[in-house]
Structure 1
Amino acid sequence: MSPTLNADLHCHSVISDGTLTPEELAQRAKDKGVELWALTDHDEIGGQTRAAAAAAALGLDYLTGVEISVSFLNQTVHIVGLGFDANNSALREGLAQTRGGRAQRARAMADDLARVGIHSSFEGALKYAGNHDLISRTHFARFMVETGVCKDTYEVFRKYLTEGKPGYVAHRWATLKEAVYWIRDAGGLAVIAHPARYKFSANEEFALFTEFKGFGGQGVEVVTGSHSAADSVTYTDVALEFALAASRGSDFHSPTESRTDLGELPTLPEQLTPIWTLLQHQIQKAPQGLMPT
Protein backbone atom coordinates (compact mmCIF):
# COMPACT_ATOMS: atom_id res chain seq x y z
CA MET A 1 0.00 0.00 0.00
CA SER A 2 1.24 3.46 -0.90
CA PRO A 3 2.63 5.94 1.68
CA THR A 4 0.19 8.45 0.15
CA LEU A 5 -2.81 6.25 0.92
CA ASN A 6 -5.73 8.25 2.30
CA ALA A 7 -5.92 6.34 5.57
CA ASP A 8 -7.90 7.69 8.53
CA LEU A 9 -7.08 5.57 11.55
CA HIS A 10 -8.52 7.61 14.42
CA CYS A 11 -12.17 8.61 14.88
CA HIS A 12 -15.04 8.16 17.33
CA SER A 13 -18.68 7.09 17.17
CA VAL A 14 -21.67 7.27 19.52
CA ILE A 15 -20.29 4.12 21.13
CA SER A 16 -17.93 6.48 22.99
CA ASP A 17 -18.01 10.28 22.58
CA GLY A 18 -18.74 10.85 18.90
CA THR A 19 -22.10 11.95 17.49
CA LEU A 20 -22.38 9.60 14.48
CA THR A 21 -23.07 5.87 14.41
CA PRO A 22 -20.41 3.48 13.09
CA GLU A 23 -22.45 3.15 9.90
CA GLU A 24 -22.67 6.93 9.43
CA LEU A 25 -18.94 7.27 10.00
CA ALA A 26 -18.18 4.58 7.44
CA GLN A 27 -20.35 6.38 4.88
CA ARG A 28 -18.71 9.74 5.67
CA ALA A 29 -15.24 8.20 5.37
CA LYS A 30 -16.15 6.72 1.97
CA ASP A 31 -17.65 10.00 0.77
CA LYS A 32 -14.51 11.88 1.85
CA GLY A 33 -12.21 9.62 -0.14
CA VAL A 34 -10.82 7.53 2.71
CA GLU A 35 -9.28 4.29 1.42
CA LEU A 36 -8.41 2.61 4.74
CA TRP A 37 -10.45 3.33 7.87
CA ALA A 38 -10.47 2.43 11.56
CA LEU A 39 -13.03 3.23 14.25
CA THR A 40 -11.13 3.94 17.49
CA ASP A 41 -13.67 4.53 20.25
CA HIS A 42 -12.40 5.33 23.74
CA ASP A 43 -11.74 2.19 25.82
CA GLU A 44 -14.47 0.33 23.94
CA ILE A 45 -14.59 -2.09 21.00
CA GLY A 46 -18.35 -2.66 21.02
CA GLY A 47 -18.73 -0.91 17.66
CA GLN A 48 -16.16 -2.97 15.77
CA THR A 49 -18.52 -5.53 14.22
CA ARG A 50 -20.84 -2.78 12.95
CA ALA A 51 -17.96 -0.67 11.64
CA ALA A 52 -16.33 -3.56 9.80
CA ALA A 53 -19.64 -4.63 8.24
CA ALA A 54 -20.44 -1.08 7.13
CA ALA A 55 -16.99 -0.68 5.61
CA ALA A 56 -17.28 -3.95 3.72
CA ALA A 57 -20.68 -2.95 2.34
CA LEU A 58 -19.16 0.30 1.04
CA GLY A 59 -16.04 -1.25 -0.49
CA LEU A 60 -13.81 0.34 2.16
CA ASP A 61 -10.78 -1.44 3.65
CA TYR A 62 -10.91 -1.64 7.44
CA LEU A 63 -8.68 -2.09 10.50
CA THR A 64 -9.98 -2.78 13.98
CA GLY A 65 -9.22 0.08 16.33
CA VAL A 66 -9.48 1.43 19.88
CA GLU A 67 -8.11 4.40 21.84
CA ILE A 68 -7.03 3.42 25.36
CA SER A 69 -6.71 5.99 28.15
CA VAL A 70 -3.42 5.64 30.03
CA SER A 71 -2.01 7.33 33.14
CA PHE A 72 1.64 8.31 32.67
CA LEU A 73 3.54 10.74 34.95
CA ASN A 74 0.25 12.11 36.29
CA GLN A 75 -1.09 12.88 32.83
CA THR A 76 -3.63 11.09 30.66
CA VAL A 77 -2.07 9.74 27.48
CA HIS A 78 -3.97 8.00 24.69
CA ILE A 79 -2.72 4.85 23.01
CA VAL A 80 -4.39 3.75 19.78
CA GLY A 81 -4.52 0.05 19.01
CA LEU A 82 -4.87 -1.09 15.39
CA GLY A 83 -5.35 -4.44 13.70
CA PHE A 84 -6.08 -6.54 16.80
CA ASP A 85 -8.45 -9.46 17.29
CA ALA A 86 -11.60 -7.80 18.61
CA ASN A 87 -12.64 -11.07 20.28
CA ASN A 88 -9.48 -11.31 22.41
CA SER A 89 -10.65 -11.90 25.97
CA ALA A 90 -7.70 -10.24 27.73
CA LEU A 91 -8.17 -7.05 25.70
CA ARG A 92 -11.91 -7.02 26.37
CA GLU A 93 -11.40 -7.56 30.10
CA GLY A 94 -8.73 -4.88 30.29
CA LEU A 95 -10.92 -2.34 28.55
CA ALA A 96 -13.82 -3.17 30.86
CA GLN A 97 -11.58 -2.47 33.86
CA THR A 98 -10.47 0.83 32.34
CA ARG A 99 -14.08 1.90 31.77
CA GLY A 100 -14.95 1.09 35.38
CA GLY A 101 -15.40 4.12 37.56
CA ARG A 102 -16.44 6.55 34.83
CA ALA A 103 -19.93 6.95 36.30
CA GLN A 104 -18.55 7.75 39.76
CA ARG A 105 -16.10 10.20 38.22
CA ALA A 106 -18.92 11.85 36.25
CA ARG A 107 -20.99 12.34 39.41
CA ALA A 108 -18.00 13.94 41.11
CA MET A 109 -17.58 16.24 38.09
CA ALA A 110 -21.25 17.21 38.33
CA ASP A 111 -20.92 17.96 42.05
CA ASP A 112 -17.96 20.24 41.37
CA LEU A 113 -19.79 22.05 38.57
CA ALA A 114 -22.78 22.55 40.87
CA ARG A 115 -20.50 24.42 43.27
CA VAL A 116 -20.00 27.08 40.57
CA GLY A 117 -23.69 27.26 39.70
CA ILE A 118 -23.95 24.71 36.89
CA HIS A 119 -26.67 22.30 38.00
CA SER A 120 -28.08 19.00 36.69
CA SER A 121 -25.00 18.46 34.54
CA PHE A 122 -24.80 14.71 35.18
CA GLU A 123 -28.32 14.16 33.86
CA GLY A 124 -27.65 16.59 31.02
CA ALA A 125 -24.43 14.84 30.01
CA LEU A 126 -26.14 11.45 30.04
CA LYS A 127 -28.44 12.63 27.24
CA TYR A 128 -25.41 12.88 24.98
CA ALA A 129 -23.80 9.60 26.02
CA GLY A 130 -24.80 6.84 23.62
CA ASN A 131 -23.02 4.44 25.97
CA HIS A 132 -23.64 5.43 29.61
CA ASP A 133 -20.62 3.39 30.71
CA LEU A 134 -18.45 5.82 28.76
CA ILE A 135 -19.83 9.14 29.98
CA SER A 136 -17.01 11.64 29.54
CA ARG A 137 -15.99 15.28 29.66
CA THR A 138 -17.12 15.68 26.04
CA HIS A 139 -20.68 14.81 27.01
CA PHE A 140 -20.59 17.40 29.81
CA ALA A 141 -19.21 19.93 27.33
CA ARG A 142 -22.10 19.36 24.92
CA PHE A 143 -24.60 19.87 27.76
CA MET A 144 -22.87 23.12 28.74
CA VAL A 145 -23.11 24.40 25.17
CA GLU A 146 -26.77 23.37 24.95
CA THR A 147 -27.61 25.28 28.14
CA GLY A 148 -25.68 28.41 27.14
CA VAL A 149 -22.88 28.16 29.70
CA CYS A 150 -20.39 28.40 26.81
CA LYS A 151 -20.74 29.12 23.11
CA ASP A 152 -18.87 26.00 21.96
CA THR A 153 -16.98 23.02 23.30
CA TYR A 154 -13.62 24.75 22.83
CA GLU A 155 -14.72 27.45 25.29
CA VAL A 156 -15.89 24.77 27.72
CA PHE A 157 -12.45 23.19 27.82
CA ARG A 158 -10.78 26.58 28.24
CA LYS A 159 -12.88 27.41 31.31
CA TYR A 160 -13.96 24.07 32.77
CA LEU A 161 -13.24 20.33 32.93
CA THR A 162 -9.45 20.61 32.66
CA GLU A 163 -6.91 20.39 35.47
CA GLY A 164 -7.23 23.32 37.86
CA LYS A 165 -10.66 24.34 36.47
CA PRO A 166 -14.17 23.61 37.81
CA GLY A 167 -15.47 20.14 36.97
CA TYR A 168 -12.10 18.45 36.59
CA VAL A 169 -11.79 15.10 38.33
CA ALA A 170 -8.77 12.88 37.75
CA HIS A 171 -9.24 9.20 36.99
CA ARG A 172 -6.80 6.33 37.24
CA TRP A 173 -6.63 4.76 33.80
CA ALA A 174 -4.63 1.78 32.55
CA THR A 175 -0.85 1.84 32.74
CA LEU A 176 1.20 2.30 29.59
CA LYS A 177 2.51 -1.24 29.93
CA GLU A 178 -1.00 -2.69 30.29
CA ALA A 179 -2.35 -0.88 27.22
CA VAL A 180 0.55 -1.84 24.96
CA TYR A 181 0.48 -5.46 26.16
CA TRP A 182 -3.30 -5.78 25.64
CA ILE A 183 -2.99 -4.54 22.06
CA ARG A 184 0.15 -6.49 21.26
CA ASP A 185 -1.12 -9.75 22.75
CA ALA A 186 -4.34 -9.41 20.72
CA GLY A 187 -2.26 -9.32 17.53
CA GLY A 188 -2.36 -5.56 16.97
CA LEU A 189 0.04 -2.62 16.94
CA ALA A 190 0.14 0.14 19.57
CA VAL A 191 0.43 3.80 18.53
CA ILE A 192 0.93 6.94 20.65
CA ALA A 193 -1.97 9.23 19.76
CA HIS A 194 -1.56 12.99 19.05
CA PRO A 195 1.66 13.41 21.09
CA ALA A 196 1.79 17.21 20.71
CA ARG A 197 -1.27 17.51 22.95
CA TYR A 198 0.54 16.33 26.08
CA LYS A 199 2.20 18.82 28.39
CA PHE A 200 5.38 16.89 29.06
CA SER A 201 8.84 18.32 29.52
CA ALA A 202 11.47 17.15 27.04
CA ASN A 203 12.76 14.61 29.54
CA GLU A 204 9.26 13.33 30.35
CA GLU A 205 8.40 12.94 26.68
CA PHE A 206 11.65 11.05 26.12
CA ALA A 207 10.65 8.74 28.98
CA LEU A 208 7.20 8.19 27.42
CA PHE A 209 8.63 7.17 24.06
CA THR A 210 11.42 5.10 25.60
CA GLU A 211 9.04 3.10 27.81
CA PHE A 212 6.47 2.76 25.03
CA LYS A 213 9.11 1.35 22.69
CA GLY A 214 10.44 -0.92 25.43
CA PHE A 215 6.98 -2.43 26.01
CA GLY A 216 6.62 -3.22 22.31
CA GLY A 217 4.87 -0.10 20.99
CA GLN A 218 5.47 0.39 17.28
CA GLY A 219 3.85 3.60 16.07
CA VAL A 220 3.15 7.29 16.62
CA GLU A 221 0.55 9.60 15.10
CA VAL A 222 2.50 12.14 13.09
CA VAL A 223 -0.36 13.66 11.09
CA THR A 224 -3.50 14.24 13.15
CA GLY A 225 -6.40 16.63 13.44
CA SER A 226 -4.80 18.39 16.40
CA HIS A 227 -1.24 18.68 15.03
CA SER A 228 0.05 21.77 13.31
CA ALA A 229 2.47 21.50 10.40
CA ALA A 230 5.29 22.24 12.85
CA ASP A 231 4.07 19.45 15.16
CA SER A 232 4.17 17.01 12.27
CA VAL A 233 7.79 17.99 11.57
CA THR A 234 8.67 17.50 15.25
CA TYR A 235 7.11 14.04 15.45
CA THR A 236 8.56 13.00 12.12
CA ASP A 237 11.92 13.44 13.80
CA VAL A 238 10.72 11.55 16.89
CA ALA A 239 9.43 8.68 14.75
CA LEU A 240 12.80 8.42 13.05
CA GLU A 241 14.71 8.69 16.34
CA PHE A 242 12.75 5.85 17.94
CA ALA A 243 12.32 3.79 14.74
CA LEU A 244 8.52 4.00 14.98
CA ALA A 245 6.04 3.66 12.14
CA ALA A 246 3.84 6.69 11.44
CA SER A 247 0.08 6.80 11.70
CA ARG A 248 -2.48 9.27 10.40
CA GLY A 249 -5.95 10.05 11.76
CA SER A 250 -8.36 12.95 12.01
CA ASP A 251 -9.59 12.22 15.56
CA PHE A 252 -13.01 13.06 14.15
CA HIS A 253 -15.89 13.23 16.66
CA SER A 254 -18.65 15.31 15.08
CA PRO A 255 -19.46 17.27 11.91
CA THR A 256 -20.11 20.38 14.02
CA GLU A 257 -17.29 20.05 16.56
CA SER A 258 -14.24 18.60 14.84
CA ARG A 259 -11.67 20.89 13.27
CA THR A 260 -10.59 18.25 10.76
CA ASP A 261 -12.99 16.05 8.83
CA LEU A 262 -12.42 12.43 7.91
CA GLY A 263 -10.02 12.05 5.01
CA GLU A 264 -8.83 15.68 4.93
CA LEU A 265 -5.36 15.33 6.46
CA PRO A 266 -2.06 15.90 4.63
CA THR A 267 -0.16 12.84 3.55
CA LEU A 268 2.54 11.36 5.74
CA PRO A 269 6.13 12.55 5.19
CA GLU A 270 7.72 10.26 2.60
CA GLN A 271 10.73 9.35 4.76
CA LEU A 272 8.49 7.57 7.31
CA THR A 273 7.16 4.02 7.37
CA PRO A 274 3.35 4.13 7.30
CA ILE A 275 1.81 2.00 10.04
CA TRP A 276 -0.44 0.23 7.53
CA THR A 277 2.57 -1.33 5.82
CA LEU A 278 3.09 -3.32 9.03
CA LEU A 279 -0.58 -4.34 9.15
CA GLN A 280 -1.11 -5.88 5.72
CA HIS A 281 -2.38 -9.18 7.13
CA GLN A 282 -4.76 -7.50 9.59
CA ILE A 283 -6.53 -5.28 7.05
CA GLN A 284 -10.05 -6.48 6.37
CA LYS A 285 -10.12 -6.08 2.63
CA ALA A 286 -13.39 -4.90 1.13
CA PRO A 287 -15.07 -7.21 -1.41
CA GLN A 288 -14.09 -6.22 -4.94
CA GLY A 289 -16.57 -4.97 -7.50
CA LEU A 290 -18.91 -3.21 -5.09
CA MET A 291 -20.68 -0.07 -6.25
CA PRO A 292 -20.58 2.87 -3.81
CA THR A 293 -23.82 3.31 -1.88
Structure 2
Amino acid sequence: MSIDLHSHTDQSDGSLSPQMLIELAEKNGVQMLSITDHDTVSAYHLINNVPKNMHLIKGVEISCSWNNATIHILGLDINITEEYLLKNLEIQSKQRLIRAGKIAKILVKLGITDPLTRVMELAGNNIGRPHFAQYLLEVGKVRTREEAFKKYLGNGKPGDVKFEWMEMKTAIECIKNAGGIAVLAHPAAYKYTNTKLNGLLKEFKEFGGQGIEVISGSQTSAITNNLTSLAIKYDFFGSQGSDFHEYKNGYSSLGKCMPLSPSIQPVWNLF
Protein backbone atom coordinates (compact mmCIF):
# COMPACT_ATOMS: atom_id res chain seq x y z
CA MET A 1 0.00 0.00 0.00
CA SER A 2 1.30 3.47 -0.93
CA ILE A 3 1.07 5.68 2.17
CA ASP A 4 1.96 9.38 2.52
CA LEU A 5 1.08 11.02 5.84
CA HIS A 6 2.84 14.37 5.35
CA SER A 7 1.92 16.77 2.55
CA HIS A 8 1.09 20.44 2.02
CA THR A 9 -1.30 22.49 -0.10
CA ASP A 10 -1.58 26.17 -0.96
CA GLN A 11 -3.46 26.62 2.32
CA SER A 12 0.00 26.81 3.93
CA ASP A 13 3.27 26.70 1.97
CA GLY A 14 2.46 24.17 -0.74
CA SER A 15 1.82 25.03 -4.38
CA LEU A 16 -1.25 22.93 -5.22
CA SER A 17 -4.86 23.43 -4.20
CA PRO A 18 -6.28 20.72 -1.92
CA GLN A 19 -8.26 19.13 -4.76
CA MET A 20 -5.24 19.22 -7.08
CA LEU A 21 -3.17 17.49 -4.39
CA ILE A 22 -5.80 14.76 -4.09
CA GLU A 23 -5.74 14.29 -7.87
CA LEU A 24 -1.94 14.10 -7.92
CA ALA A 25 -2.00 11.57 -5.09
CA GLU A 26 -4.45 9.43 -7.06
CA LYS A 27 -2.23 9.69 -10.15
CA ASN A 28 0.78 8.60 -8.08
CA GLY A 29 -1.09 5.62 -6.67
CA VAL A 30 -1.37 6.89 -3.10
CA GLN A 31 -3.91 4.84 -1.16
CA MET A 32 -3.60 6.55 2.22
CA LEU A 33 -2.97 10.30 2.36
CA SER A 34 -2.87 13.00 5.00
CA ILE A 35 -2.81 16.70 4.21
CA THR A 36 -0.81 18.28 7.03
CA ASP A 37 -0.71 21.99 6.35
CA HIS A 38 1.09 24.24 8.79
CA ASP A 39 -1.20 25.33 11.62
CA THR A 40 -4.41 25.09 9.60
CA VAL A 41 -7.01 22.50 8.62
CA SER A 42 -8.71 24.70 6.02
CA ALA A 43 -7.70 22.41 3.13
CA TYR A 44 -10.26 19.83 4.20
CA HIS A 45 -13.11 22.28 3.62
CA LEU A 46 -12.01 22.79 0.01
CA ILE A 47 -11.99 19.15 -1.14
CA ASN A 48 -14.89 18.22 -3.39
CA ASN A 49 -14.08 14.62 -4.16
CA VAL A 50 -11.90 11.85 -2.72
CA PRO A 51 -11.33 8.70 -4.80
CA LYS A 52 -13.03 5.60 -3.45
CA ASN A 53 -9.73 3.73 -3.23
CA MET A 54 -8.03 6.48 -1.20
CA HIS A 55 -8.18 6.72 2.60
CA LEU A 56 -7.88 10.41 3.54
CA ILE A 57 -6.56 10.87 7.08
CA LYS A 58 -7.31 14.32 8.45
CA GLY A 59 -4.16 15.96 9.78
CA VAL A 60 -2.22 19.12 10.61
CA GLU A 61 1.39 20.10 11.21
CA ILE A 62 1.69 22.26 14.32
CA SER A 63 4.68 24.52 14.87
CA CYS A 64 5.70 24.62 18.51
CA SER A 65 8.52 25.47 20.86
CA TRP A 66 10.84 23.14 22.74
CA ASN A 67 13.87 24.46 24.62
CA ASN A 68 13.62 27.78 22.75
CA ALA A 69 13.76 26.04 19.37
CA THR A 70 11.04 25.42 16.80
CA ILE A 71 9.89 21.88 16.12
CA HIS A 72 6.95 20.49 14.16
CA ILE A 73 4.41 17.95 15.35
CA LEU A 74 1.97 16.16 13.09
CA GLY A 75 -1.52 15.58 14.37
CA LEU A 76 -2.95 12.59 12.50
CA ASP A 77 -6.52 11.29 12.43
CA ILE A 78 -7.84 14.42 14.13
CA ASN A 79 -11.31 15.89 14.48
CA ILE A 80 -10.91 19.11 12.47
CA THR A 81 -13.86 20.79 14.21
CA GLU A 82 -12.56 20.37 17.77
CA GLU A 83 -12.78 23.73 19.56
CA TYR A 84 -9.54 23.70 21.59
CA LEU A 85 -7.49 22.78 18.53
CA LEU A 86 -9.08 25.46 16.35
CA LYS A 87 -8.71 28.13 19.03
CA ASN A 88 -4.98 27.51 19.32
CA LEU A 89 -4.48 27.35 15.55
CA GLU A 90 -6.26 30.71 15.26
CA ILE A 91 -3.87 32.21 17.82
CA GLN A 92 -0.92 30.98 15.77
CA SER A 93 -2.45 32.43 12.60
CA LYS A 94 -2.71 35.87 14.23
CA GLN A 95 0.86 35.63 15.45
CA ARG A 96 1.97 34.78 11.92
CA LEU A 97 0.38 38.00 10.65
CA ILE A 98 2.21 40.03 13.27
CA ARG A 99 5.52 38.41 12.35
CA ALA A 100 4.85 38.96 8.65
CA GLY A 101 4.45 42.67 9.25
CA LYS A 102 7.82 42.77 10.99
CA ILE A 103 9.54 40.83 8.19
CA ALA A 104 8.01 43.15 5.59
CA LYS A 105 9.36 46.25 7.37
CA ILE A 106 12.84 44.72 7.49
CA LEU A 107 12.79 43.94 3.77
CA VAL A 108 11.63 47.48 2.96
CA LYS A 109 14.62 48.85 4.89
CA LEU A 110 16.82 46.66 2.68
CA GLY A 111 15.45 48.41 -0.40
CA ILE A 112 12.79 45.88 -1.37
CA THR A 113 9.35 47.12 -2.41
CA ASP A 114 6.82 46.51 0.38
CA PRO A 115 5.98 42.81 -0.06
CA LEU A 116 3.11 42.43 2.39
CA THR A 117 0.17 42.87 -0.01
CA ARG A 118 1.52 40.32 -2.47
CA VAL A 119 2.60 37.91 0.26
CA MET A 120 -0.91 37.98 1.72
CA GLU A 121 -2.28 37.19 -1.74
CA LEU A 122 0.03 34.18 -1.88
CA ALA A 123 -0.67 32.97 1.63
CA GLY A 124 -3.97 34.27 2.91
CA ASN A 125 -3.88 34.42 6.69
CA ASN A 126 -1.41 31.57 7.12
CA ILE A 127 1.75 33.48 6.22
CA GLY A 128 5.19 31.95 6.54
CA ARG A 129 8.70 32.75 5.40
CA PRO A 130 8.32 30.56 2.28
CA HIS A 131 5.76 33.06 0.98
CA PHE A 132 8.29 35.88 1.36
CA ALA A 133 10.78 33.68 -0.47
CA GLN A 134 8.29 33.31 -3.32
CA TYR A 135 7.84 37.09 -3.45
CA LEU A 136 11.60 37.69 -3.57
CA LEU A 137 11.77 35.21 -6.42
CA GLU A 138 8.95 36.94 -8.29
CA VAL A 139 10.55 40.41 -8.07
CA GLY A 140 13.93 39.12 -9.15
CA LYS A 141 15.83 39.63 -5.91
CA VAL A 142 16.83 35.96 -5.85
CA ARG A 143 17.00 33.14 -8.37
CA THR A 144 15.61 30.40 -6.11
CA ARG A 145 13.68 30.07 -2.87
CA GLU A 146 16.76 28.54 -1.32
CA GLU A 147 18.73 31.68 -2.15
CA ALA A 148 16.02 33.79 -0.48
CA PHE A 149 16.60 31.93 2.77
CA LYS A 150 20.38 32.13 2.45
CA LYS A 151 20.33 35.90 1.87
CA TYR A 152 17.25 37.21 3.66
CA LEU A 153 15.09 34.76 5.61
CA GLY A 154 17.15 31.91 7.06
CA ASN A 155 18.45 31.56 10.59
CA GLY A 156 20.53 34.58 11.55
CA LYS A 157 19.54 36.56 8.45
CA PRO A 158 17.73 39.95 8.53
CA GLY A 159 14.28 38.44 8.01
CA ASP A 160 14.70 35.80 10.70
CA VAL A 161 12.10 37.27 13.07
CA LYS A 162 11.68 35.15 16.17
CA PHE A 163 8.25 33.75 16.81
CA GLU A 164 6.52 32.67 20.02
CA TRP A 165 4.93 29.38 19.06
CA MET A 166 2.81 27.36 21.46
CA GLU A 167 4.79 25.03 23.71
CA MET A 168 5.26 21.41 22.66
CA LYS A 169 3.07 20.24 25.54
CA THR A 170 0.22 22.47 24.33
CA ALA A 171 0.56 21.23 20.75
CA ILE A 172 0.26 17.63 21.91
CA GLU A 173 -2.74 18.54 24.08
CA CYS A 174 -4.42 20.12 21.03
CA ILE A 175 -3.92 16.94 19.02
CA LYS A 176 -5.05 14.58 21.77
CA ASN A 177 -8.12 16.71 22.56
CA ALA A 178 -9.02 16.38 18.88
CA GLY A 179 -8.79 12.59 19.17
CA GLY A 180 -5.60 12.46 17.12
CA ILE A 181 -2.14 10.94 17.29
CA ALA A 182 0.87 13.19 17.92
CA VAL A 183 3.85 12.36 15.68
CA LEU A 184 7.17 14.19 15.77
CA ALA A 185 7.82 15.38 12.22
CA HIS A 186 11.18 14.90 10.44
CA PRO A 187 13.35 14.46 13.58
CA ALA A 188 16.59 14.55 11.59
CA ALA A 189 15.77 17.98 10.14
CA TYR A 190 16.52 19.67 13.47
CA LYS A 191 20.16 18.56 13.18
CA TYR A 192 20.38 17.83 16.92
CA THR A 193 23.16 15.91 18.58
CA ASN A 194 22.19 12.41 19.71
CA THR A 195 22.01 13.66 23.29
CA LYS A 196 19.67 16.53 22.44
CA LEU A 197 17.51 14.40 20.15
CA ASN A 198 17.12 11.79 22.89
CA GLY A 199 16.15 14.57 25.29
CA LEU A 200 13.48 15.77 22.87
CA LEU A 201 12.11 12.27 22.37
CA LYS A 202 11.92 11.64 26.12
CA GLU A 203 9.88 14.80 26.75
CA PHE A 204 7.75 14.19 23.66
CA LYS A 205 6.89 10.76 25.05
CA GLU A 206 6.21 12.12 28.55
CA PHE A 207 3.76 14.70 27.16
CA GLY A 208 1.80 12.06 25.25
CA GLY A 209 3.54 11.83 21.88
CA GLN A 210 2.91 8.45 20.27
CA GLY A 211 4.99 8.35 17.11
CA ILE A 212 7.90 9.72 15.12
CA GLU A 213 8.30 10.23 11.41
CA VAL A 214 10.84 7.55 10.61
CA ILE A 215 10.64 8.09 6.85
CA SER A 216 10.70 11.72 5.70
CA GLY A 217 11.34 12.87 2.16
CA SER A 218 14.57 11.72 0.54
CA GLN A 219 16.65 11.16 3.67
CA THR A 220 19.65 8.82 3.71
CA SER A 221 19.44 5.18 4.78
CA ALA A 222 21.73 5.99 7.73
CA ILE A 223 19.20 8.51 9.05
CA THR A 224 16.35 6.05 8.53
CA ASN A 225 18.23 3.32 10.40
CA ASN A 226 18.95 5.66 13.31
CA LEU A 227 15.33 6.80 13.56
CA THR A 228 14.15 3.20 13.38
CA SER A 229 16.39 2.37 16.35
CA LEU A 230 15.05 5.37 18.29
CA ALA A 231 11.45 4.37 17.56
CA ILE A 232 12.19 0.94 19.01
CA LYS A 233 14.05 2.40 22.00
CA TYR A 234 11.17 4.69 23.03
CA ASP A 235 8.36 2.39 21.85
CA PHE A 236 7.08 4.88 19.28
CA PHE A 237 4.86 4.08 16.35
CA GLY A 238 6.53 4.85 13.03
CA SER A 239 5.17 7.19 10.39
CA GLN A 240 6.18 8.06 6.86
CA GLY A 241 5.63 11.00 4.54
CA SER A 242 7.11 12.80 1.57
CA ASP A 243 6.64 16.31 3.05
CA PHE A 244 5.50 17.24 -0.44
CA HIS A 245 5.19 20.96 -1.23
CA GLU A 246 5.60 21.33 -4.98
CA TYR A 247 6.89 19.83 -8.18
CA LYS A 248 10.67 20.13 -8.49
CA ASN A 249 12.04 20.01 -12.02
CA GLY A 250 8.85 18.29 -13.11
CA TYR A 251 9.15 15.60 -10.42
CA SER A 252 6.55 14.91 -7.76
CA SER A 253 7.69 13.24 -4.54
CA LEU A 254 4.11 12.75 -3.33
CA GLY A 255 3.67 9.13 -2.29
CA LYS A 256 7.29 8.25 -3.08
CA CYS A 257 8.21 6.98 0.38
CA MET A 258 10.50 4.15 1.37
CA PRO A 259 8.73 1.43 3.40
CA LEU A 260 8.95 1.32 7.17
CA SER A 261 11.04 -1.39 8.78
CA PRO A 262 8.91 -4.37 9.91
CA SER A 263 10.61 -4.05 13.31
CA ILE A 264 8.40 -1.09 14.26
CA GLN A 265 4.64 -0.71 14.45
CA PRO A 266 3.17 1.63 11.80
CA VAL A 267 1.13 4.54 13.11
CA TRP A 268 -1.72 3.75 10.72
CA ASN A 269 -2.51 0.70 12.83
CA LEU A 270 -4.10 3.25 15.19
CA PHE A 271 -6.46 4.75 12.60
Whether the 8 Å CA contact 1:27–1:58 is kept in 2: the answer is no
Within the candidate set 18, 23, 26, 2:19 is matched to 23
The answer to whether residue 64 in structure 2 is matched with residue 70 in structure 1 is yes
| Secondary structure of the corresponding residue to residue 11 of structure 2 | coil
In the TM superposition, 1:36-185 aligns within 5 A as: 36-51=32-47, 53-55=48-50, 57-129=51-123, 132-185=124-177
CA RMSD of aligned residues (A): 1.8
| Secondary structure of the corresponding residue to residue 127 of structure 1 | helix
Moved more, 252-261 or 192-201: 252-261
- Report the AA paired with residue 110 of structure 1: A
Whether the 8 Å CA contact 1:110–1:119 is kept in 2: the answer is no
| Secondary structure of the corresponding residue to residue 163 of structure 1 | coil
Within the candidate set 194, 197, 205, 1:213 is matched to 205
Query: How much has 1:31 moved relative to structure 2?
Result: 0.5
| Secondary structure of the corresponding residue to residue 182 of structure 2 | strand
Distance (Å, rounded) in 2 between the aligned partners of 1:157 and 1:195: 21
Whether the 8 Å CA contact 2:36–2:60 is kept in 1: the answer is yes
Whether the 8 Å CA contact 2:172–2:182 is kept in 1: the answer is yes
Sequence identity percentage: 37
| Secondary structure of the corresponding residue to residue 254 of structure 2 | coil
- Report the AA paired with residue 227 of structure 2: Y
| Secondary structure of the corresponding residue to residue 142 of structure 2 | coil
| Secondary structure of the corresponding residue to residue 101 of structure 1 | helix
Query: How much has 1:159 moved relative to structure 2?
Result: 2.4
In the TM superposition, 1:1-12 aligns within 5 A as: 5-12=1-8
- Report the AA paired with residue 32 of structure 1: N
226 and 153 in structure 1: CA distance in 2 versus 1, 3 angstrom threshold: farther
Query: How much has 1:200 moved relative to structure 2?
Result: 2.7
Distance (Å, rounded) in 2 between the aligned partners of 1:66 and 1:254: 18
TM, length-normalised to structure 1: 0.87
Query: How much has 1:117 moved relative to structure 2?
Result: 2.5
* Equivalent residue pairs, number: 271
Distance (Å, rounded) in 2 between the aligned partners of 1:191 and 1:227: 18
Query: How much has 1:114 moved relative to structure 2?
Result: 2.4
1:265 matched residue in structure 2: 257
Higher relative contact order, structure no. (Cα contacts within 8 Å, ≥ 6 residues apart): 1
| Secondary structure of the corresponding residue to residue 30 of structure 2 | coil
Query: How much has 1:259 moved relative to structure 2?
Result: 7.6
| Secondary structure of the corresponding residue to residue 118 of structure 1 | coil
Whether the 8 Å CA contact 1:30–1:58 is kept in 2: the answer is no
Query: How much has 1:260 moved relative to structure 2?
Result: 5.7
For structure 1, list consecutive stretches of 5 or more residues without a partner in the other structure: 280-293
Query: How much has 1:229 moved relative to structure 2?
Result: 2.3
Query: What do the CA deviations read for 1:104-146 (whole angstroms, capped 9, x no partner)?
Result: 10111112222333232223322321xx211110100111111
181 and 155 in structure 1: CA distance in 2 versus 1, 3 angstrom threshold: same
Distance (Å, rounded) in 2 between the aligned partners of 1:110 and 1:232: 38
The answer to whether residue 271 in structure 2 is matched with residue 276 in structure 1 is no
Distance (Å, rounded) in 1 between the aligned partners of 2:184 and 2:251: 20
Whether the 8 Å CA contact 2:28–2:255 is kept in 1: the answer is yes
1:284 matched residue in structure 2: none
| Secondary structure of the corresponding residue to residue 96 of structure 1 | helix
79 and 16 in structure 1: CA distance in 2 versus 1, 3 angstrom threshold: same
